[in-house]
Amino acid sequence: MQTCVIVAIAASAPAAQSKNLKKMKRILFFSIPLLVSFNLFAKEVFIGPGPSAQERLQEALILMEEGDTLIIKSGYYKFEDGLSLDVDDVTVKGEGIDSTILDFKNQQSGAQGLLVTSDRVTLSDFSILDAKGDALKVIGAKGINMINLKTEWTGGPKSTNGAYGFYPVESEDVLIDGCVAIGASDAGIYVGQSKNIIVRNSIAQYNVAGIEIENSYYADVYNNLASHNTGGILVFDLPDLPQQGGHHIRVFDNKSIDNDTDNFAPEGNIVGEVPRGTGIIIMANSDVEIFDNLMSGNGTVNLSIVSYGDETDDPNYYPHPKNIQVHGNTYGPSGFDPDIETGDLAKALFEISGGNMPDIFWDGIVPLSQIIFGQPDDEKLIIAEEDASFLTIKPIKYMLGFSDPTNTNKDDFKGEISPLKEINIETF
């Protein structure tokens, strides 16, 4: 409930003031716009550890009203049921990721640790451990801030771990800032079918995919550390989803290093195809800019740009990446331990390269019409890198069985960089 305070300033008029001026002052006094607005009834609610913490916390989440702040005091909370929040314009915060710990190891019900289905919500300063399914899932939110949070499965990488740490889907204005994700059997930080996204200042370790942006529009992913995952940073677009055609994604100022964890995704998951030791993968997206990142210590390949390779009956799906710009990145050692046992990417690249694995790989797959007539200028791959090795496949030579169907000359892919615009999200 919003209570408005109207502030007006009255001034005495000289005796000779005109009637028109007096009339104008009366009009201004009664129609002056709102200058101060606040919620007189907004409150802070405190929940502490102890008996019935589960019930008390869930009740507080249900009873919150717009403008309220729920503070979860320092302590170790053990839950048997998932938590949920569906109230708009609220804040839920702990007292630090090492102080406010929500433990779901003994969870018996609920598919998530915490499920949020409301708008303009800020979550900060607590940890979610060992959720039965996803740790923190957000569905259909318009405005979600996840700040200084941690999700972790403490038993190490296992296929029985929950799929996602941070999992906003079908949402707008998504901010993930200063978060830590460890041990997810799919993606530690995942944003899917969403738009207007910022993922920054975060750490993803020992997940299958560290950070994944999927079927989403307008995202900035920057100043993050992705290490000791199977694959560091993934930008995917997949068929048969309500929102597809992912586009306008910037990946910059990140460290995707030492991604050396064996793939532990449950059988059948698309990320189960990602080979151990992958820095960044771009698949089937358009308008992606990758710049000023450090990619190093990735045993298979630092950067892969590939088409979606499985069959699909989705008539609206476009499986090929287009307008990908790569520039100003730093590349360290890679390709020294290719994971040829997982999926097709590493095996094919190892065979085609003769074991001389490049820093940057593009599979070269384009529609048949473009094989014949060439790619449009606004769809071409642009590479502006000085000290990176490169390999792509020439489709016609590959299909015809030529002995060397590859091209390692990245100068063939020079072009003018057209920087994508910075992503701005609506703040609240």
User: pLDDT tens digits, residue range 302-314?
Assistant: 999 999 988 899 9
How many residues are listed for the chain in this entry?
428
The whole-angstrom separation of Cα 302 and Cα 250 is 17
Name which of 193, 142, 148 is nearest 167 in CA terms. Answer: 193
Does residue 23 surpass a pLDDT of 50? no
DSSP type of residue 412: G
What is the pLDDT averaged over residues 342-358?
93
The whole-angstrom separation of Cα 189 and Cα 179 is 9
User: CA geometry: angle at 339 spanning 334 and 344, to 5°?
Assistant: 115
Percentage above 90 pLDDT, the chain: 83
Q: What is the pLDDT of residue 15?
A: 41
338 or 20, higher pLDDT: 338
Burial per residue of 64-102, b for 16 or more beta-carbon CB atoms within 10 angstroms, e otherwise:
beebbebbbeebebebeebbbbebbbbbbbbeebeebbb
The whole-angstrom separation of Cα 81 and Cα 132 is 9
Does residue 26 surpass a pLDDT of 70? no
- What token pair was written down for 118? 């409301």
Contact 244, 316 (CB under 8 A): yes
Q: What is the pLDDT of residue 119?
A: 98
Q: What is the pLDDT of residue 395?
A: 73
pTM metric for this prediction:
0.90
Does residue 5 surpass a pLDDT of 90? no
What is the pLDDT averaged over residues 288-293?
98
Determine which helix (DSSP H) or strand (DSSP E) holds 57, and give its type and residue range: helix 53-63
What is the pLDDT averaged over residues 52-62?
97
What is the pLDDT averaged over residues 288-297?
98
Q: What is the pLDDT of residue 368?
A: 87
Domain boundaries, the chain: 180-413
Q: What is the pLDDT of residue 402?
A: 66
